[in-house]
Amino acid sequence: MIGPDRERLSPCVCSTLRMVSRAVTQLYDDILRPSGLRVTQFSILGAIARLGEANLRQLEHMLAIDQTTLTRSLKLLERNRAIDRVPHSDGRIKAMTLTSKGRRALEAARQLWARAQGKVLRELGTTAWADAQRRLAHLLRVAVKKRGRSRGENRVRPRRARGRSL
């Protein structure tokens, strides 16, 4: 890439990915605006629709989204009556399903999403996107694997009580 856009990019992978992500998110949000959904809400509703019923852990994993952001979005979707909490056999699990209003919102937003997707793919090219998607999938695997390892290594292990024997 040559020109002013290339100069805006940071040598830091994280900064560059976040900048691109914010810009692309804004593009999708602008196009989705008539549906009343943001692209993050659209993604959550789509994931719940695919699963039929979803809990926080499933959505966190499926969407690679942190619990705080996910919880905030879910509360908004619930307040707008797009999703309902449903009983789960394990009372600690918060399960969600789409309401009829949520299904209608998702369906209306799909056409707008397709417009946003088409715009990006026309500019980028489907071959370039397939290559980028392959590389990003690898980066995601690396980041998730490294993060999981570092979480386990940084845990403080409980100390054994003194004077006890096994």
Longest dimension (CA), the chain: 70
**All residues at 6 or more sequence positions from 25 whose CB lies less than 8 Å from its CB, including other chains:** 39, 40
What CA–CA distance (Å, rounded) separates 44 from 50? 10
Q: How far apart, in whole angstroms, are the C-alpha atoms of residue 46 and residue 66?
A: 17
Per-residue tens of pLDDT for the chain, all 166 residues:
445 666 778 889 999 999 999 999 999 999 999 999 999 999 999 999 999 999 988 999 899 888 899 999 999 999 999 999 988 777 778 789 999 999 999 999 999 999 999 999 999 999 999 999 999 999 988 888 766 655 554 444 444 444 544 4
Report yes or no on whether pTM surpasses 0.75. Answer: yes
At a CB cut-off of 8 Å and minimum separation 6, what does 93 contact? 55, 56, 57
Cβ atoms of residues 113 and 49 within 8 Å: no
Helix count (H) and strand count (E) of the chain? Answer: 7, 3
Matching residue, tokens 């998702």: 106
**Residue 65 per-residue DSSP state:** -
